Amino acid sequence: MSIYYSGTFKRSAGVISAVVKQLNLVNLKPVKKFKSNLIHFTQMLDFLFHISSPKVAETNLNCVIKTNIVCDRSEPQIKIDLNDAGSIKFLANNLTVLEILQQINKHISSQVKEESVNQETTKARKKQIKR
């Protein structure tokens, strides 16, 4: 009576798999500064943790992440200043980590043009990575 199993046999660990997938796509090259006003007990601290990871930081070493922990009951905000004079503001009150990452990938990471794979690693670049 029953039909055979059809579909993929992937094993997903839940939301975190989706988050990791988005994180792998994140490219912060167009970003100049990351300013966040976070309340001390929101899920946005999770987002902060992910965005501060070394892999994401490697995409743009000049990008500065500035966090301001806010104690009054204002909305948590994330403001992203771009290199070419523009900024994106996230009102993160009701947003999840996954949603923010998806939007970042949609608006920011998509702007990055694919560079040539074979880049000569100069001494300066090596020093930067070491830091």
Partner 1 sequence: MALIPRKALCETSSLLLQFRRFRGKINIQRPRKPHFERAKYIALTQPYFINPNKDKTPQELCKGFKEQRSEETENPFQRILSQELYKWLTSSRLIVFYHSNPMPAELRFKAKVSFKKKNMHLTQYGKKTVEMAVKGTPYEAVLNLFVSHNVMLFSPEPDIKTVFSISKKFPQFVLLAGVLEGKFVSRDELTAYSLIRTSNQPRPGSYKPLTASVAKSLAV
Selected binder of partner 1 within 24, 53, 62, 111 (CB under 8 A) = 53
Task: Write down the least CB distance from residue 85 to partner 1, Å.
Answer: 27
Quick one: how far is CA 53 from the chain centroid?
Answer: 9
Phi then psi for residue 98, to 5 deg, are: -60, -45
Quick one: how far is CA 37 from the chain centroid?
Answer: 16
Residue 69 engages partner 1 in binding (rule: CB under 8 A): yes
Strands annotated E in 27-85: 31-39, 64-70, 77-82
- Contact of 26 with 59, CB cutoff 8 Å: yes
Nearer to partner 1, 14 or 54 (CB): 54
Selected binder of partner 1 within 17, 24, 52, 110 (CB under 8 A) = 52
Residue 48 engages partner 1 in binding (rule: CB under 8 A): yes
Residue 67 engages partner 1 in binding (rule: CB under 8 A): yes
Selected binder of partner 1 within 20, 24, 40, 125 (CB under 8 A) = 40
